[in-house]
């Protein structure tokens, strides 16, 4: 395995860089307003098409945590990790039908704005601060860390130079505003899909060459089934098998993905409904559009979401078989560090085995995913800070030009903080698990107050505040007092406790009366077009097929 890129690889990457930069500049100059306008900067003010919305959602979602972290968990757990993508596709359709009308018809543009409109200013402010910490300390930081880790493995440059490169690239894309992010994300998605599928194809071909007879990718798929049957199941049972934990030990796979119970208790649903429905940097892409366009965008995103297992899971499975069969000393060396098996190294090691030219394409695809995701998250951090904190508490009278300028300052500051913290994540064993678990400390409470705020008119502000604040201490209590409970099941338990507390306090306070801040709801909002229903039916059929094949 040769570490680093060749001249041809750098030329391919440079072409990608020039195309993205030039198109982003063209969008900035020719689409929309040239004057400083905060709605245009933060929301693209309705100018994004359905395909740009869908592509931007996936570009923001699919990043280093998928390419590196999810491939790492495919190496660790197998095909079952694709449940996040499958349920994510299903969740996007539900959110398009029921969540989007509540936001768009009530003219809600940020998540804290919803909380203020439906509950009160206290909850909106507390959650705005929570989201800022979460997006910077968990999301931005983890993407920079995993992205830099992969580039370090590919190029041979040090961790910090790679992290700085990704950060600077993302800063320039983000400073153009949501319109530039949305339209450049279309190019980013094309790059990550083509490059990702090429990597998958070559990983399976490599598996066929190293372990089989060299007859091609279908033999590679067959070898995964033969050599790693335990990795080809979608549902685990307790004690089914032990997997590497990334810290030198082993862990029960059930603790990571607790079988059917994660659906029954609700942990897997909480992850996806909260992420796609109550998450600023996902929903923001659709909030500036009309309802039909926004729904079509989410439907397109659901379709793209179901492609991700082919792009990020299969390479991890191929790496696992190559590692288990000791097919190449370079693979063994690349995946282990000081004798410790590091699942997150699986994808970068595979990239280094690609031929010249294709390695450059894969490098461009990975960079596209990382930069697009960083840009989307940073824009949402800036949006929440400016609209829900700065303009409310520091200077309510800011003009449009100053608002946009300070929004850009907030972007740069958030990147600097995340860049400084990112090296500390080396102390964690598995990147994707880190993101899911620590985001899960707050997501049960958030989803509870959003769902009740949407659809139950008696929900009160005090009840929502208690439920939101209770989520973190409850999660901490269950994590350390009952460590045997898988974190997805823990999220489900905390969610139902938060719902019960919320409902109880609301009933006591409301005395059976509706809350005066209850949102307007019209059942006609939830009706969909025939084309949407047809597309949704096709996605449901694909989901059923996937589960039928791999149950």
Q: How confident is the model at residue 550 (pLDDT cuts 50, 70, 90)?
A: low
C-alpha span between 99 and 114 (Å, rounded): 12
The whole-number pLDDT of residue 495 equals: 96
Interval 448-473: pLDDT, tens: 999 999 989 999 999 999 999 999 99
C-alpha span between 411 and 400 (Å, rounded): 17
C-alpha span between 64 and 143 (Å, rounded): 5
Looking at residue 457, what DSSP letter applies? T
C-alpha span between 354 and 349 (Å, rounded): 9
Q: What is the model's pTM? A: 0.85
C-beta of residue 414 within 8 angstroms of C-beta of residue 170: no
The whole-number pLDDT of residue 250 equals: 82
Q: How confident is the model at residue 3 (pLDDT cuts 50, 70, 90)?
A: low
Q: How confident is the model at residue 237 (pLDDT cuts 50, 70, 90)?
A: confident
Which of helix, strand or coil describes residue 337?
A: strand
Paired tokens of 355: 């031929």
CA-to-CA separations, 189 to 23, 192, 369, in angstroms, rounded: 14, 5, 7
Paired tokens of 194: 């083509």
Q: What is the mean pLDDT of residues 460-488?
A: 92
Cβ count near 338 (within 10 Å): 6
The whole-number pLDDT of residue 533 equals: 93
Secondary structure element (H or E) that encloses residue 251, with its range: strand 250-252
Orientation of helix 443-455 relative to helix 111-118, angle to 10°: 50
Residue 119 confidence (pLDDT) above 90: yes
Interval 120-141: pLDDT, tens: 999 999 888 888 988 898 888 8
Cβ count near 180 (within 10 Å): 26
Residue 39 confidence (pLDDT) above 80: no
Interval 382-404: pLDDT, tens: 888 988 899 888 888 888 788 88
Q: How confident is the model at residue 446 (pLDDT cuts 50, 70, 90)?
A: very high
The whole-number pLDDT of residue 435 equals: 67
Paired tokens of 171: 């800063």
Paired tokens of 542: 């694909």
CA-to-CA separations, 540 to 87, 379, 537, in angstroms, rounded: 10, 32, 5
Cβ count near 175 (within 10 Å): 21
């Amino acid at each position: 395995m040769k570490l680093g890129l060749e001249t041809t690889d750098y030329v391919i990457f440079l072409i990608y860089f020039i195309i993205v930069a030039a198109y982003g500049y063209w969008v900035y100059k020719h689409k929309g307003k040239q004057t400083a306008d905060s709605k245009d900067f933060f929301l693209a003010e309705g100018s994004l098409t359905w395909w740009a919305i869908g592509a931007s959602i996936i570009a923001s979602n699919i990043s280093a945590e998928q390419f590196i972290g999810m491939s790492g968990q495919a190496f660790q757990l197998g095909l079952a990790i694709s449940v996040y993508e499958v349920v994510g596709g299903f969740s996007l359709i539900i959110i398009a039908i029921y969540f989007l009308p509540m936001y768009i018809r009530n003219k809600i543009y940020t998540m804290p704005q919803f909380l203020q409109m439906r509950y009160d200013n206290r909850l909106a402010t507390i959650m705005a601060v929570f989201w800022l910490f979460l997006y910077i300390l968990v999301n931005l930081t983890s993407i920079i860390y995993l992205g830099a880790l992969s580039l370090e493995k590919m190029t041979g440059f040090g961790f910090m130079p790679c992290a700085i490169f990704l950060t600077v690239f993302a800063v320039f894309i983000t400073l153009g505003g949501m319109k530039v992010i949305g339209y450049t994300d279309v190019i980013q998605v094309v790059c990550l899909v083509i490059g990702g599928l090429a990597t998958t194809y070559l990983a399976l071909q490599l598996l066929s060459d190293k372990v089989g007879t060299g007859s091609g990718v279908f033999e590679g798929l067959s070898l995964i089934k033969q050599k790693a049957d335990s990795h080809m199941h979608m549902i685990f049972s307790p004690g089914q098998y032990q997997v590497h934990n990334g810290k030198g030990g082993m862990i029960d796979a059930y603790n990571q993905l607790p079988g059917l119970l994660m659906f029954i208790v609700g942990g897997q649903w909480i992850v996806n409904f909260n992420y796609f429905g109550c998450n600023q940097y996902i929903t923001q892409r659709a909030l500036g559009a009309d309802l039909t366009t926004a729904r079509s965008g989410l439907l397109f995103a659901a379709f793209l979401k179901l492609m991700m297992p082919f792009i990020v899971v299969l390479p991890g499975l191929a790496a696992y078989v190559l590692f288990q069969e000791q097919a190449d000393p370079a693979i063994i060396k690349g995946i282990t560090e000081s004798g410790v098996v590091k699942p997150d190294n699986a994808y970068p090691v595979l990239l280094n085995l690609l031929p010249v030219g294709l390695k450059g394409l894969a490098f461009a695809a990975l960079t596209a995913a990382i930069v697009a995701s960083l840009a989307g998250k940073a824009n949402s951090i800036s949006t929440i800070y400016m609209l829900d904190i700065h303009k409310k508490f520091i200077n309510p009278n800011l003009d449009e030009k100053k608002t946009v300028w300070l929004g850009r300052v907030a972007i740069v500051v958030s990147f600097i903080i995340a860049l400084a913290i990112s090296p500390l994540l080396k102390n964690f064993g598995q990147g994707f698990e880190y993101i899911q678990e620590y985001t899960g400390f707050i997501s049960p409470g958030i989803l509870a107050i959003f769902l009740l705020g949407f659809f139950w008119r008696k929900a009160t502000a005090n009840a929502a505040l208690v439920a939101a604040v209770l989520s973190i201490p409850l999660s901490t209590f269950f994590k350390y007092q009952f460590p045997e409970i898988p974190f997805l099941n823990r999220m489900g338990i905390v969610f139902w406790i938060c719902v019960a507390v919320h409902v109880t306090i609301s009933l006591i306070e409301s005395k059976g009366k509706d809350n005066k801040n209850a949102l307007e709801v019209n059942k006609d909002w939830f009706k969909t077009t025939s084309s949407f229903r047809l597309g949704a039916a096709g996605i449901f059929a694909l989901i059923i097929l996937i589960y039928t094949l791999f149950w």
